[in-house]
Amino acid sequence: MELNSKQVTIIETAEKLFADRGYDGTSVRNIAEEAGINVAMISYYFGSKEKLLEALFSYRAEGTTQKLVSMLANKVLNPLEKVNMMIEYYIDKFYNQTSFHKIMSREQVASRRSAIAGLIQGFKKRNQQLIKEIIQEGQKAGYFTKNIDIPILMSTLIGSISHAVTTQHFYREINNLQDMPEDQFQKMMKKKLNAHFKFIFKAILTHEV
């Protein structure tokens, strides 16, 4: 999806407002005012608020697809290194796109918008197919065992990252880290999550039951 800078500004402004106020609590006028543009410009580029939401999902999902395609095509990394890169990417994605993932969670749980539900399903299927191809590459090369349930494996990764990100305050409290500077805490959490999931994925992918 080719977007100009104005369209990206509108999408990212809408993303922030949808995350903070909810889709129904955000008007096109709110988005225009926050973005510093005329309401007519949103209609010109996107047509409606729902089409703008669809554009947001396409914008964010396309980045993940491109990243996975790039990993799959990489001839230098071995399959386990590609899986590790995928884990790093998803952890960074959740930390860098917290607003989008808040919206994604809401839409998956209680979406009344069939077009959005269809988009989400389509993106998830496409990206899981690419992940499946990375894992199959590892199976053919003898790196990984057979009979890997990829949807459950990815649910383990994505669900756990999502939970870790949304409950960081609890992790801080239970480990007495309230006084740790925010940037230091985020760096520590990413490091821990990367080590944790790389260990789990390697164990699952290489251990023959």
Q: Which domains does the chain have, with CATH numbers?
A: 56-206 (1.10.357.10)
- Compute the distance between CA of residue 66 and CA of residue 60 in angstroms, rounded to an integer: 10
The pTM for the full model equals: 0.88
pLDDT digit string, tens, across residues 96-148: 999 999 998 888 776 566 778 888 889 999 999 999 999 999 999 999 999 89
Kindly state the average pLDDT of the residues 151-180: 94
- Compute the distance between CA of residue 6 and CA of residue 35 in angstroms, rounded to an integer: 9
Phi/psi of residue 170, each to 5°? -70, -40
Residue 4: Cβ-neighbour burial (10 angstroms; 0-12, 13-18, 19+): exposed
pLDDT digit string, tens, across residues 87-99: 999 999 999 999 9
Count helices and strands (H / E) in the chain. 10, 0
Kindly state the average pLDDT of the residues 1-9: 88
**158 within 8 A of 90, measured Cβ to Cβ:** yes
Residue 180: Cβ-neighbour burial (10 angstroms; 0-12, 13-18, 19+): middle
Q: In Å, how far are 30, 43, 100, 152, 165 from 120, measured between CA atoms?
A: 25, 23, 12, 17, 21
Whole-number pLDDT of residue 106: 84
Chain position carrying tokens 């199959």: 136
Whole-number pLDDT of residue 207: 84
pLDDT digit string, tens, across residues 37-75: 999 999 999 999 999 999 999 999 889 999 999 999 999
**What does the mean pLDDT of the chain come to?**
92
Whole-number pLDDT of residue 120: 86
Residue 208: Cβ-neighbour burial (10 angstroms; 0-12, 13-18, 19+): exposed
Interaxial angle between packed helices 79-96 and 150-166, expressed in degrees from 0 to 180 and rounded to the nearest 10: 40
